[in-house]
Structures are given as C-alpha cells and as structure tokens.
Structure 1
Amino acid sequence: MTITVDGIESTSLAPGDSLARAVIISLFTWRRANADDIAEGQKMGWFGDVAEPLVANDKIGSRLWLLSREKLVQSTFNRAREYAREALQWLIDDQIAVRVDVSAERYGMDGMALVCTITREDGSNISLRFNDVWEKVRAI
C-alpha cells in the first residue's frame, strides 16, 4: 500500500510513526458488520469484537470491506468517508485528537483515495493519503 504522510510518499513507516500506524490499523482491519449492513450473510470482523468490550461499543477496524462489491459512484465515496470517520472516531474519544477530517475521492480512472487529516490538541496536524484504497478493498 502506498501512503503519503505529510506530503512524503512511502510504502513503509518509520518506527516513530505510531499515529500513522494506528490510523492504518483502524482503517484496514475489518470491523464486524452492523446488524443492518448488507453483508451477504457474512459479518466478518475482528474476532475480538464478538466478546463484550471493556468499553461500551468499543470496536476495532472499519467497515470499508463492505464496499468490495460496490460500483465506484458518489454514494460509494460517501459511504467510504462515513466508514473511515467511524473507524477513526476513537482518536477523538480517547483524546488523541481534537478533530478528524476524512475525504474520499477518485484516484485515476478506476480508483479511490482516502485523505485523513488528524488535528492534535496542540493544533498540529498529520495528513495521511491512501491512494490505492479501492484496490485494497476490492482485493478481498
């Protein structure tokens, strides 16, 4: 996966990039589907979400995997943005960030990119761009 962290494109992260790693885990680990999600009988998700969490509604990952059979249309971009925001909400809840902004946009002719900007309490930002999200979601 190619990501861009604060304008620097890379396929790997430096050891000190713990926030970037947390964002990657949050976005690309499968979150268990909600009861009202159309998941073709598959709820998937991280096995730990089956057990009762220590913190109410505490779940790991995102539901981006649900988009694997969708067409690349505006409603898919909207859902991708919604799923990414949901997956990153814990950063605000746990006071790691004061704000999380996510955009989903077309990447090339048949791809999707996600841009996540996390604002820390001190006002500094980290911006992560994932250029090949659609390829990763569709490869499931």
Structure 2
Amino acid sequence: MDESFTVQNRRQRRSQVFMAAALELSGGSHAVKLRNLSADGALVEGSHLPVEGSEVVFRRQELNVPAKVVWVRGERAGLAFKEQLPPEAVLRHIPTPRPRVLPEYRRPGLHARLTDAERQAAEEWAWRPSFDRPGE
C-alpha cells in the first residue's frame, strides 16, 4: 500500500513534494527524496534506509530536525519529528504552485484585403470546373 497518499489518522495535513533531503544516522549521511512533509513528520524515499525505531536527523537546506523512523516499506520510510515544526518552516520547503495557463484557441482572421490578382487566382483555384462529372 502506498503510504504517501493515505490520510490515516494524521493530526496535520501533509503537502506532496519531490525534493532532495538527507538523513543523518551514526555520523553518516544518506541522500533521500522528500515525498511529503507536515509539521509532525515526513515521507522519504531512498535506498539503504535505517530500520524502524532508528533515531535520525532529517536535513533539508537549513532545516535540521531530530526524528524517529516510524515505519519502513521497501524504499520508503515514514518519519515522526521529535518537535512539531512551525508552519512557516513547513511552508518554506513547499513550492508555490505555478499558475495554470490556459491556451487561448482562436481562428486567425484575415487582416489584409486581397488584391485583384490574388482574388482572381483564388477564384480560379477554388472554382476550377471538373471534367470528371458523371453524365458528361
């Protein structure tokens, strides 16, 4: 089951993201991908994740938060932060959505008048008599 989209019994709403982060454990640092983030915890993805119950430090830019690995399934793990993050710290790491641009489809209009020669050429091209009419 994909834990990133399950609401479960969470106190805080999680924001879906896809950013680089790191987990520090026993003096070593492991690169992970941050999949979602809230004031209480995060979902990370990566290889060689620490086991459940491990104490880690979650790092993302200037954010350094002590956390505990709550669960691990495959290459994903859920983290519970030791202290709740302030809302401004969470929002700083969530990109603002880009405004949606809707294409405007319009038929191009004629902006110039045709000269007499252009009009005559268009009429000859469009009104060329057919020699393959049945009955002739």
Name the TM-score class by shorter chain: under 0.3
Q: Higher helix share goes to which structure? A: 1
- Structure label with greater radius of gyration: 2
Q: Higher strand share goes to which structure? A: 2
Which structure's relative contact order is higher, taking Cα pairs within 8 Å and 6+ residues apart? 1
TM score, norm. by length of structure 1: 0.25
